[in-house]
Each structure stands twice: as C-alpha cells, then as structure tokens.
Amino acid sequence: MNIMQNQTRGKHLFHGLTSCEGCAMELVARTVLDILGTNTVVLTPPSCSAILTGFSRETGWHVPSFMANLEAVASYASGLRTGLEVLGKDKVNVVGYAGDGGTVDIGLQALSGAIERGHRIIYICYDNEAYMNTGIQRSGATSLGAWTTTTPGGKPTQRKDVPQMLLAQGIPYLATASTAYIDDLAKKVEKAKNTDGPSYIHVHAPCATGWRFPAHKTIDIARMAVQTGLWVLYEAVDGRLKITKEIKNFKPVEDYVKMQKRFQKATPEMIMELQRFATEGYEKLAERVENV
C-alpha cells in the first residue's frame, strides 16, 4: 500500500496531543495505525507513548488501548492475544508500542518470553535512545558519547543491539526502521501484520527534547543516522536478512553528531569509535546478506 494515498492517513490518533513539537514517537504511532487499521488493540507502558494512551477515560487512540506496566508490555500482549483467540477473535491485531527503555532494558525478559512462546503479537519499539518521560536518563540503547542526565560527560559505552538478540532467538519477522523512511516502515508493519507468529520492529525515533536539536530537524536527523550507517534499515523473514535501504556514499558520522547538542561532551575518541561502529556494523550486516 502507498501510505501517501491512504485517505485515513494519520487519523487513528487524535490530533492536538501533548507530545512535544516534532515528536517522532507520535509520527511512528500514526503510521503503524494507518497500516493496521481499527481492528487493533494497543498496549503501551509508562513512557512518552503513555501520552497517546492517556488516563482514565481519556485516550488519544481511536482504537482500544491499555497501559501496561513498564516491565511487562509483551506479557500483557501475550495474554490479550490468547484471550482473543479463545473468543474466536483471532483477526484482531495486538500491538505492544514501547520505548527503548521499556524494551531493551526493563521489558526485555517479557519480550523474549513472548517470542519464545510464539504468540502472534506485533511489538514496535520506538527508540529515542533514553528514558525521556522521566527526564532523559540513559538506557541500554543510548549512543556512545551522548549526554543524558545520568551520563553528564557522554555515555562511555556502545548501545546494545536488541534486534540481533531477538534474531538469534529465532523470531519469524524482525525489522529495523526509521522515522525518515515512512514508506519503508509502512511496508514492514504490513509484513508484521501478516506474520503468523511474533513480529518485532525497532524504529529509530529522534527526540528534539532529549537530543537537544530544533524540532523541525527530526526527519533530517533520522535520515542522517541512516546515511552515516549508524542506523541500518533491514528486515529478516525467518532469519533471512535483507538490507532495505542500501547506502552507497556514506556521510561522515561527524555530520550527524554536530546536528545535536547531546554530543557536545563527546570526546574525539568517542566520535572515532562511533564512526568505526557505523562502518563495521554496516559491513558485518552486508556480509551476512551475501552469505544467505
């Protein structure tokens, strides 16, 4: 489906929500619902996505939604899927929509368990690279060198690669995606919808508030992450890996870093290490594609 031709585009979430100006998390949520439609239930944990789910009887979603706890979105999704199947409602899409902290750190055990049990759930992680909702603390997904309130001198370690962990676990459909490549994301959500088992999409979602850049630069920054090789767009169907956006002429990581104030404390050594991470990371993935 060409998402630009979709007449209900962006309409399954109310407008005027209180996420920050230029928020990628909200744009990703709108795109996911554009593809999945209204026969969908969404579970969110405490996080910026909780802004969409709301409180009490007020919600931003046009579909049923529920706030799970931070460590167990995937467990709630598993239970809901099972219950719907018992009721014969197996066409309903069950979506976990969680941030990086709630996915790569606090919710990882529940996510891994749900995948191992094989529940047909769609889990989307929007990755803004920190615990934003509680005031910008570092997560396992925060980039090396990035300032957060708990890494005042720049994060000293690399981000952890949860998509590759889940791939090693044998998940039937997995993809990475970016806010800058919405058509690519939409195609991946469609594939997740049609997967007979668990699916996982990890979306790079820049955050103007936490990364310290002007709100109108969200898409430029997301695109630059892909064009430097720091964020590689790929998918894996039954473990067969394919890069969905090949990059021929890489931009230097320096160009990405200088667009965001969060890297102001990063040392030249950290930037060099980020460059190595981008170059070698892309090469390693490309080698695995050829070996399939």
Ligand X SMILES: Cc1ncc(C[n+]2csc(CCOP(=O)(O)OP(=O)(O)O)c2C)c(N)n1
Residue with Cβ nearer ligand SF4 (217 or 288):
217
Note whether 142 binds Mg ion by CB under 5 A: no
From the list ligand SF4, ligand X, Mg ion, none, which binds 23 (C-beta under 5 to 8 Å, kind-based)?
Answer: ligand SF4
| Rounded Cα–Cα distance for residues 12 and 168 (Å) | 34
Q: To the nearest whole angstrom, how small is the minimum distance from the Cβ of residue 268 to ligand X?
A: 28
Residue with Cβ nearer ligand X (99 or 145):
99
Note whether 163 binds Mg ion by CB under 5 A: no
Q: Can you read off the two tokens belonging to residue 125?
A: 């992680």
From the list Mg ion, ligand X, ligand SF4, none, which binds 163 (C-beta under 5 to 8 Å, kind-based)?
Answer: none
Residue type at 198 in one-letter notation = P
Residue with Cβ nearer ligand SF4 (40 or 128):
128
Number of residues engaging Mg ion in binding (CB under 5 A): 5
Q: What angle do CA 131, 205, 48 make, to 5 degrees?
A: 40
What contacts 188, CB < 8 A, 6 or more positions away? 175, 177, 201, 235, 244
From the list Mg ion, ligand SF4, ligand X, none, which binds 209 (C-beta under 5 to 8 Å, kind-based)?
Answer: ligand SF4
| Rounded Cα–Cα distance for residues 233 and 286 (Å) | 11
- Judged by CB under 5 A, the residue of 103, 128, 179, 260 near Mg ion is 128
Cβ-contact 174, 233 below 8 angstroms: no
Cβ-contact 167, 185 below 8 angstroms: no
Label the pairing between strands 199-204 and 240-243.
unpaired
Residue with Cβ nearer ligand X (141 or 271):
141
Q: To the nearest whole angstrom, how small is the minimum distance from the Cβ of residue 171 to ligand X?
A: 20
Cβ-contact 189, 172 below 8 angstroms: no
DSSP, res 21: T
In the complex, the residues that contact ligand X under the rule CB under 6 A are 46-49, 70-71, 98-102, 106, 128, 130-134, 139
Residue with Cβ nearer ligand X (98 or 171):
98
Determine the distance from the C-alpha atom of residue 194 to the mean position of all C-alpha atoms in its chain, rounded to a whole number.
19
The Cα-based distances of 234 to 86, 193, 222 in angstroms read 34, 17, 15
Residue with Cβ nearer Mg ion (132 or 203):
132
Q: To the nearest whole angstrom, how small is the minimum distance from the Cβ of residue 19 to ligand X?
A: 9
Label the pairing between strands 65-67 and 173-178.
unpaired
- Sign for the CA dihedral angle at 219, 221, 223, 225 comes to negative
Note whether 99 binds Mg ion by CB under 5 A: yes
In the complex, the residues that contact ligand SF4 under the rule CB under 6 A are 19-20, 23, 25, 48, 128, 132, 207-210
Q: To the nearest whole angstrom, how small is the minimum distance from the Cβ of residue 105 to ligand SF4?
A: 16
Residue with Cβ nearer ligand X (128 or 260):
128
Nearest position to Mg ion, beta carbon: 99
Note whether 103 binds Mg ion by CB under 5 A: no
Pick from 28, 196, 33, 208: which is nearest to 120 by CA?
196
Binding site residues, Mg ion, CB under 5 A = 99-101, 128, 132
